[in-house]
A and B are shown apart, each in its own frame.
Chain A
């Protein structure tokens, strides 16, 4: 996580510094109406600061125990075991997607689409969640997380 978090930290520092420089220069040149750029740069820096904070916590938790993908001489055996839960084919993402698209149509043709879209969206979202909820006493179906 070291390289990952440093990369993000670099982005935070660059964006914050650019925002500060831009702020100073905008006011020095008298473009007092240009506030959107300052706001967008500042919030971009903040957004990446959140991501950096998360990665930093992950890094500190693992201090001294690098993951096999962060270790220069890890072998394939170090990565043995379950990596993650990879669900099989599922119809629910298509349902959620169709619901969102219909909800988008509401912005063009009227609210009826939003109602149909919302029903589809929530129905499919429930299906999605239930599908992930494998029974706890069945080790074969058990997700590691």
Chain B
């Protein structure tokens, strides 16, 4: 590590030097036409963010329905079939419409070009196309609710033979197949686009090892998408042939293999879990570094951890299938447990980033701290479930439900809220209210833990997931009641943020370009950024160029 002596950035951001001087002639539409035709990565990113947040609220409503059904024993709030549709579509929409696209498509579109100093994405029109496929997929999979037999009702991982035409007749299942398939294509297109952007459109001096961790994590996420989604699409093609053309790929009676579906699905499904987590790790890294006024601790270690999580996630798919008895237990247990190591490195580095920093406890910071605590919980139960000897006991119980909600909601979704509070000023030019934000965080944090912590115990007491009711004598009544009350409280917490988004959009304080004293390049342009982003860029000499330009007395130590 050497302190760079030469090339000190000037006192002020560098004088304006042209970055992109090609203004394409053409129409500059407004309103609805802008929404439909825009090729601007920021507009498309916003489209994704708003659509996926609507998906979050929609699937959240289904979750409240599920918890209402389970609040007391022998409840009849919804029928068994509707209950099955609710948990299936809750999972599907949360994963394929909210958690994934919110981060890798919404925030990825909006902030990856800004953070690397690019004027736009590499393929702007292609980018627009992927949004339409995504929206079409969302509408089609939800349209199942309007059909006679209802939406898909076989669980979000659609195990054979439940998905065969004889067990799931009607268009609901087909709509699910097509809808998820379309969002898959949209993900692949976005991945191609973002990888090309990162590889070819970085600003001069923005070498790979000066990119923000968020961009690195997005890149690894995109690598995973490129491997995972094509497998899902081909599995869907096989399933569709089974349902409509009399194929027997997954039909045991005719010599097919139901276990093949599980292998194909989870070969997609486990990288998908990291597709839903890695961008959020990046968000937490950026927020904690900015709010602690420090560079990221262990920058290269962080990148190494991201890369190894990405790599290992390709070899752990069958840990969802231990109890089938048809998988290689030691191999998958070993690789699954290994993932805890790079994740531990990340935790160490997040804490190291905050260590002795000047931490400002904004709402975004609070959400990140909540993320750290709850993702750790989810990670620990993950280590428990990764061991075959324990998984045989706990498979398909509520402990699994608690585990992945701690990872996906307490982890990823809390980081998504951190991202909303952190980047809303950049996207709209106005600050979100800290009062409503902190209230929302507190209510969500209490509600979330009240909802999902009791589910650990329910799982240990043997309550299986996906049952639509239970008897009063099972000993699960009180904890289910607690859990449902927690779900309502968490729902109120989410609505407080929705309210905050609404009032701050109209009355929020004007943010200015750099409200958090940010370190990375997205804060170097105006809020919201103009078309093609940058009037001028500060010289890029470290992984936090804007900080170096604004604080010449505290240059980032760099070594290469």
Mark A residues whose CB is within 8 Å of B: 1, 3-4, 7, 10-11, 14-15, 18, 21-22, 25-26, 29, 31, 33-34, 36-37, 40-41, 44, 47-48, 55, 68-94, 96-98, 100-101, 104-105, 107-109, 128, 140-141, 144
Contacts and interface: CB of A to CB of B under 8 A. Distances in A.
B36 interface: yes
A109 B177 CA distance: 13
Given A33-B257, A68-B204, A98-B132, A41 B21 contact: no
8 contacts: A1-B199, A40-B231, A86-B20, A90-B37, A90-B39, A91-B36, A93-B125, A107-B177
B326 A34 contact: yes
A87 B125 contact: yes
A100 B39 contact: no
B388 interface: no
Interface of B: 7, 14, 17-22, 24-29, 33-34, 36-40, 118-120, 122, 124-126, 128-129, 131-133, 136, 140, 171, 174-175, 177-178, 181-182, 185, 199-209, 223, 226-227, 231, 240, 244, 257, 259-260, 263-264, 267, 307, 310-311, 314-315, 317-318, 326-328, 330-331, 532, 536-537, 539, 541, 560
A97 B44 CA distance: 14
Contacts of A81: 21
A29 B136 CA distance: 45
Contact of B315 (A18, A48, A94, A140): A18
Given A70-B207, A88-B28, A90-B39, A76 B22 contact: no
A29 B325 CA distance: 12
Contacts of B317: 37
Nearest to B20: A83
A36 B26 contact: no
B206 A69 contact: yes
A97 B39 contact: no
B132 A89 contact: no
A94 B136 CA distance: 11
Contacts of A4: 199, 208
B275 to A, nearest CB: 15
A98 B231 CA distance: 24
Contact of B132 (A25, A73, A77, A101): A101
A78 B14 CA distance: 14
A144 B323 CA distance: 57
Nearest to A22: B331
A101 B182 contact: yes
Nearest to B231: A40
A55 B120 CA distance: 22
Contact of B129 (A82, A86, A97, A140): A97
Given A68-B204, A93-B125, A33 B263 contact: no
Given A47-B227, A86-B22, A93-B132, A108 B205 contact: no
B174 A107 contact: yes
Contacts of B200: 84
Nearest to B147: A108
A36 B26 CA distance: 50
Contacts of A3: 207-209
Contacts of A80: 17-18
A84 B140 contact: no
Given A96-B129, A104-B136, A71 B18 contact: no
B326 A72 contact: no
Nearest to A73: B7
A118 to B, nearest CB: 16
A33 B264 CA distance: 14
Nearest to B261: A36
Tell me which of B132, B175, B226, B264 has the highest count of chain A C-beta atoms within 10 A of its own C-beta.
B132
Contacts of A47: 226-227
B27 A108 contact: no
